[in-house]
């Protein structure tokens, strides 16, 4: 199997954009191509991750449209879908194109354009099509409602506190404030101060602020607004090539050394223990084995905190903390920048934002910046190896990717 | 690069089905798994090709849903989209999973469920989202209208006759009548006789019948109903493994020896010559080079005759006939079973039917049956090597796959 290196990355600002999906994908792609010092003439394949361009943008054939738009014709072009893990799946498929020797130079790009959808609940309803069409969806469940149920079970089973989950949101907003590409470049304290200035209330600290029914309303009891990721626009891209050739293009290639993906039951009640992500345990174990790494070797992690509870549980099933201790670890500051295992230095889905198909690619882009030492104010000191967790569905299709400094 | 073999195939009947998309995908998959003599425990990845399950079936996460339904958890599962070439792209991506060594046993399945969509024009409108969103779609063009324009240009430029294109439809219906999985298992003569019996008219031969405004109305001038493929439901599946291990499962493995894919301009008027499919010339040349074959080595071809004109042009750009001579070749019987190069012995999109995402996989399934000598009454004598052409968009994203008898 050929080894696969990342030689270029691109990332639009996440948030509310006036550009269309193809434009966002184009911008991230062109930035990655420029960063890679390759010529656009040499690309032989392109993989685009996006969850719902049909429902959100009335577009199909987005991969064909993209290669035309950015001048990569006649490169092969395909669209890869795996719910909110469409980006991670696109990275995997692009990885396989290089690993097999079928491609020499691959562009992987993920993106989504959603903020223009103003019908209340439209996005959440669309994402809810990931639930089981007979056992779950007809009963009105959505992904946030599952996250609320999971939070209740977790807090009771492991004697954890909701405030500990709030600290995950506080940390991720703190990190996002240091990320110029983040949707929210503000700490929760910033939000509080702004609300005080506008005369909307008075609070002495963020914990008090987060208990305010109006400023932080309940989304899916007990989860409140700040426990939940936003709806965002954005795109992120990678250029991949055979690791043997990577230094022809860049002095700072990053190796994709581990790739894992696994599924679990579609129907959540069929799982033995809803607080354990079997698919993540398996996917990350595949990635660790392939990369010859253990959780102790990981310097930085990008997790899928669509809901704060997920980051806590993922930090356990990725092997960083014992089962039931992920939320507590966040409370103890072990997952902050400078902590035992920094999780989501980018701001994560909570603060960087969550343009569905972009997320899995953006996670890898953040690892690349961290490993190259280019993460600016949110740099994790000495980051050499990182891991991601990207969620398609509610724990039933998970991808985990390990990237590390390429030494040769 | 590991060599990749097909060790099992499955194919639902195409046509009007009462089953849902996931059921159709499941049925084809289970048939392929049974045909492969593998255990469902051993699959490590699944790739599902489908064009528009979001618009047609309000489903997302279809790959995750499928692995759950047919008991393949924890296999990795992704959905591959490339318009009506979603099936071909899924085969390519599955091929790369084995070729890279990332997977040992892969299920590739393509399918679509469309016949329940009763709003007039809904399917055609959805497929029209493949056209350029600024230069083409706002002007009301659809894929059939492009095919009509292309037909006019071709007939004039190469002094060809519309009747020659009708003979492609006649041939494909004749072949489809021999295919128990075809949507239409009737010759055009059968249709004519049935109409005579019902007192709807009287014709002395099919050419006269095909000129009847009522029985064969104009769809996109000069193309009539019988020049155009139907809207169908159905699914088809393949099981892939490393060719080195194929004989552990079957005595009749088939090698995927060539895979090519290329794109062309999204906007059709930007092409130098609309009657030449540059993307197909490139994709098939990649496949021929990889397989170390020339058009002379091909015994059987499955083309993408969504419109009769496309089969004629594809037969040229695949290298079987000179430019402008494809329609004439069909008229001369060179593409019938027993002809110089049998094209669409399955009945093609015209008669086997065209459940969008299923087609690219079904084409490869037909090659497997032909190469194994299991094609029954439509068997091409001594078929050892075959090629496909699968269209995503209107000529702007094309996949070509070569399969041959695995000798070792």
Chain B residue nearest residue A268, CA to CA: B68
DSSP 8-state code for residue B103: -
**Contact list, A65 vs chain B (CB under 8 Å):** 132-133, 266
Chain A residue nearest residue B80, CA to CA: A80
Q: How far is CA A30 from the centre of its chain?
A: 21
Task: Please name the residues between 363 and 392 in chain B that touch chain A, using a CB distance below 8 Å.
Answer: 392
Are A327 and A152 a contacting pair, CB within 8 Å? Answer: no
Which among A52, A64, A101 has CB closest to B393? Answer: A64
Chain B residue nearest residue A22, CA to CA: B133
B68 SS3 class? helix
Distance from CA of B336 to the nearest CA of A (A): 31
Instruction: Please give the pLDDT value at position B39.
Output: 80
- Closest by Cα among B74, B134, B65 to A81: B65
Q: What mean pLDDT, rounded, does chain B reach?
A: 97
Q: Chain B within 8 Å of A50 (Cβ-Cβ)?
A: no
Instruction: Please give the pLDDT value at position A206.
Output: 95
Task: Please name the residues between 219 and 278 in chain B that touch chain A, using a CB distance below 8 Å.
Answer: 259, 261-267, 278
Print burial letters for B339-374: b (CB count within 10 Å at least 16), e (below 16). Answer: eebbbbbbbbbbbbbbbbbbbbbbbbbbbbbbbbee
Distance from CA of B364 to the nearest CA of A (A): 19
Residue B408 has pLDDT above 80, yes or no: no
* CB neighbourhood size of B30 (10 A): 18
C-alpha span between A22 and A15 (Å, rounded): 16
- Closest by Cα among B371, B346, B366 to B10: B366
B305 SS3 class? coil
Residue A399 has pLDDT above 90, yes or no: yes
B299 SS3 class? coil
Q: Scanning the structure block, which residue is given the tokens 């954890």? A: A160
Alpha helix segments (H runs only) across B185-298: 188-197, 206-210, 278-291
Distance from CA of B30 to the nearest CA of A (A): 18
Chain B residue nearest residue A1, CA to CA: B100
Instruction: Please tell me whether the overall predicted TM-score, pTM, comes out greater than 0.90 for this model.
Output: yes
Chain A residue nearest residue B279, CA to CA: A74
Are A164 and A327 a contacting pair, CB within 8 Å? Answer: yes
* CB neighbourhood size of B37 (10 A): 12
Pick left, alpha or beta for residue B230 (phi over 0 → left; psi -120 to 50 → alpha; otherwise beta). beta
Tokens coding B346: 């399955």
C-alpha span between B187 and B15 (Å, rounded): 16
Tokens coding B301: 């071809």
DSSP 8-state code for residue B320: S
pLDDT digits (tens, 9 = 90+) for B74-114: 999 999 999 999 999 999 999 999 999 999 999 999 999 99
Distance from CA of A281 to the nearest CA of B (A): 11
Pairing verdict, β A385-388 and A76-81 = unpaired
Q: Chain A within 8 Å of B89 (Cβ-Cβ)?
A: yes
Which among B45, B100, B127 has CB closest to A99? Answer: B100
Interface A-B: count of C-beta contacts within 8 A: 197
**Contact list, B277 vs chain A (CB under 8 Å):** none
Which distant-in-sequence residues (6+ apart) come within 8 Å of A402 by Cβ?
Answer: A256, A257, A258, A259, A287, A288, A290, A291, A293, A298, A385, A386, A387, A388
pLDDT digits (tens, 9 = 90+) for A158-175: 999 999 999 999 999 999
Are A279 and A263 a contacting pair, CB within 8 Å? Answer: yes
**Contact list, A279 vs chain B (CB under 8 Å):** 74
What does the pLDDT average to over A2-17?
98
Instruction: Please give the pLDDT value at position A356.
Output: 98
Task: Please name the residues between 103 and 142 in chain B that touch chain A, using a CB distance below 8 Å.
Answer: 126-127, 129-130, 132-133
* CB neighbourhood size of A324 (10 A): 17
Which among B65, B93, B100 has CB closest to A266? Answer: B65
Are A386 and A404 a contacting pair, CB within 8 Å? Answer: yes
Q: Angle at Cα A284 formed by Cα A282 and Cα A285, nearest 5°?
A: 60
What are the residue boundaries of the structural domains of chain B, listed by start? 4-117+231-248
Helix axis angle for A21-36 and A62-69, nearest 10°, is 50
Are B52 and B231 a contacting pair, CB within 8 Å? Answer: no
pLDDT digits (tens, 9 = 90+) for A36-77: 999 877 899 999 999 999 999 999 899 999 999 999 999 999
pLDDT digits (tens, 9 = 90+) for A132-141: 988 999 999 9
- Closest by Cα among B145, B328, B363 to B237: B363
B197 SS3 class? helix
Tokens coding B195: 């109409």
Query: Which of B43, B44, B73 to mutate to test binding with chain A, by most A CBs within 10 Å of its CB?
Result: B73
Model confidence band, residue B264 (pLDDT cutoffs 50, 70, 90): very high
- Closest by Cα among A26, A16, A125 to A353: A16
Task: Please name the residues between 281 and 340 in chain A that touch chain B, using a CB distance below 8 Å.
Answer: 282
DSSP 8-state code for residue A13: P
Instruction: Please give the pLDDT value at position A41.
Output: 77
Model confidence band, residue A314 (pLDDT cutoffs 50, 70, 90): very high
Q: Chain B within 8 Å of A400 (Cβ-Cβ)?
A: no
Q: How far is CA A181 from the centre of its chain?
A: 13
Flag if A58 and B129 touch (Cβ within 8 Å): yes
pLDDT digits (tens, 9 = 90+) for A185-238: 999 999 999 999 999 999 999 999 999 999 999 999 999 999 999 999 999 999
Q: Scanning the structure block, which residue is given the tokens 């290329």? A: B262
**Contact list, A60 vs chain B (CB under 8 Å):** 51-52, 81, 83, 126-127, 129-130
Alpha helix segments (H runs only) across A183-277: 188-197, 206-210
pLDDT digits (tens, 9 = 90+) for B127-180: 999 999 889 999 999 999 999 999 999 999 999 999 999 999 999 999 999 999
Model confidence band, residue A277 (pLDDT cutoffs 50, 70, 90): very high
Helix axis angle for B188-197 and B162-176, nearest 10°, is 90
Flag if B74 and A263 touch (Cβ within 8 Å): yes
Residue A387 has pLDDT above 80, yes or no: yes
**Contact list, B392 vs chain A (CB under 8 Å):** 61, 64
Chain A residue nearest residue B99, CA to CA: A100
Residue A381 has pLDDT above 90, yes or no: yes
Which among A75, A79, A393 has CB closest to B61? Answer: A393
Are A334 and A349 a contacting pair, CB within 8 Å? Answer: no
Chain A residue nearest residue B280, CA to CA: A74
**Contact list, B82 vs chain A (CB under 8 Å):** 61, 63-64, 77-79
Residue B327 has pLDDT above 80, yes or no: yes
pLDDT digits (tens, 9 = 90+) for B36-51: 999 877 899 999 999 9
DSSP 8-state code for residue B12: P
- Closest by Cα among B94, B90, B72 to B81: B90
Distance from CA of B350 to the nearest CA of A (A): 23
Pairing verdict, β B390-392 and B397-405 = antiparallel
Flag if B392 and A97 touch (Cβ within 8 Å): no
Instruction: Please give the pLDDT value at position B23.
Output: 98
Instruction: Please give the pLDDT value at position B235.
Output: 98
Q: Chain A within 8 Å of B395 (Cβ-Cβ)?
A: no
Chain A residue nearest residue B97, CA to CA: A96
Instruction: Please give the pLDDT value at position B366.
Output: 98
Pick left, alpha or beta for residue A359 (phi over 0 → left; psi -120 to 50 → alpha; otherwise beta). alpha
What does the pLDDT average to over A284-289?
98
Instruction: Please give the pLDDT value at position B103.
Output: 98
C-alpha span between A295 and A335 (Å, rounded): 14
Tokens coding B275: 């009657």
Task: Please name the residues between 21 and 40 in chain B that touch chain A, using a CB distance below 8 Å.
Answer: 22
**Contact list, B83 vs chain A (CB under 8 Å):** 60-61, 64
C-alpha span between A368 and A108 (Å, rounded): 14
Which among B96, B129, B263 has CB closest to A59? Answer: B129
Chain A residue nearest residue B127, CA to CA: A60
Alpha helix segments (H runs only) across A110-246: 122-127, 143-157, 162-176, 188-197, 206-210
Check: CATH 3.10.20.740 for B4-117+231-248?
no
User: Is residue A134 packed enough to be buried (19+ CB in 10 Å), middle (13-18) or exposed (0-12)?
Assistant: exposed
Are B364 and B403 a contacting pair, CB within 8 Å? Answer: yes
Flag if A396 and B63 touch (Cβ within 8 Å): no
Tokens coding B256: 């995927």
**Contact list, A126 vs chain B (CB under 8 Å):** 60
C-alpha span between B311 and B169 (Å, rounded): 10
Instruction: Please give the pLDDT value at position A39.
Output: 80
**Contact list, B100 vs chain A (CB under 8 Å):** 1-2, 95-96, 99-101
- Closest by Cα among B230, B214, B213 to B172: B230
Distance from CA of B12 to the nearest CA of A (A): 22
């Amino acid at each position: 199997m050929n080894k696969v290196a990342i030689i270029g990355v691109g990332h639009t600002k996440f948030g509310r954009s006036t550009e269309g999906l193809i434009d966002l994908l184009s911008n991230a792609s062109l930035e990655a191509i420029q960063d890679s010092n390759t010529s656009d003439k040499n690309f032989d394949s392109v993989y685009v991750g996006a969850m719902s361009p049909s429902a959100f943008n009335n577009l199909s054939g987005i991969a064909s449209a993209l290669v035309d738009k950015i001048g990569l014709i006649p490169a092969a072009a395909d669209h890869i879908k795996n719910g909110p893990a469409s980006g991670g799946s696109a990275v995997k498929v692009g990885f396989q194109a290089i690993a097999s020797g079928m491609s020499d130079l691959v562009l992987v790009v993920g993106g989504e354009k959603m903020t223009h959808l103003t019908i209340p609940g439209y996005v959440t309803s669309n994402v809810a099509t990931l639930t089981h069409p007979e056992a779950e969806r007809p009963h009105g469940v959505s992904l946030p409602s599952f996250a609320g149920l999971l939070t209740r079970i977790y807090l009771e089973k492991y004697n954890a506190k909701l405030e500990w989950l709030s600290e995950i949101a506080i940390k991720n907003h703190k990190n996002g404030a240091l990320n110029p590409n983040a949707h929210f470049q503000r700490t929760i304290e910033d939000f509080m101060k702004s609300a005080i200035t506008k005369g909307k209330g008075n609070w002495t600290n963020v914990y008090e602020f987060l208990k305010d029914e109006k400023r932080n309303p309940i989304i899916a009891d007990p989860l409140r607004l700040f426990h939940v990721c936003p709806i965002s626009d954005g795109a992120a891209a990678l250029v991949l090539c055979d690791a043997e050739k990577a230094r022809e293009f860049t002095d700072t290639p990053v190796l994709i050394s581990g790739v894992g993906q696994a599924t679990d039951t579609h129907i959540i009640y069929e799982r033995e223990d809803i607080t354990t992500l079997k698919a993540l345990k398996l996917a990350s174990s595949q990635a660790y084995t392939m990369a010859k790494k253990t959780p102790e070797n990981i310097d930085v992690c990008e997790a899928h905190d669509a809901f704060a509870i997920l980051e806590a549980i993922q930090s356990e099933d990725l092997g960083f903390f014992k089962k039931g201790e992920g939320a507590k670890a966040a409370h103890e500051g072990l997952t902050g920048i400078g902590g035992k295992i920094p999780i989501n230095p980018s701001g994560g889905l909570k603060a960087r934002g969550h343009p569905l198909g972009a997320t899995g690619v953006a996670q890898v882009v953040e690892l690349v910046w961290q490993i190259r030492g280019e993460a600016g104010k949110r740099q994790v000191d000495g980051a050499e190896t990182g891991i991601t967790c990207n969620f398609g569905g509610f724990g039933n299709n998970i991808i985990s990717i390990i990237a590390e400094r390429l030494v040769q």
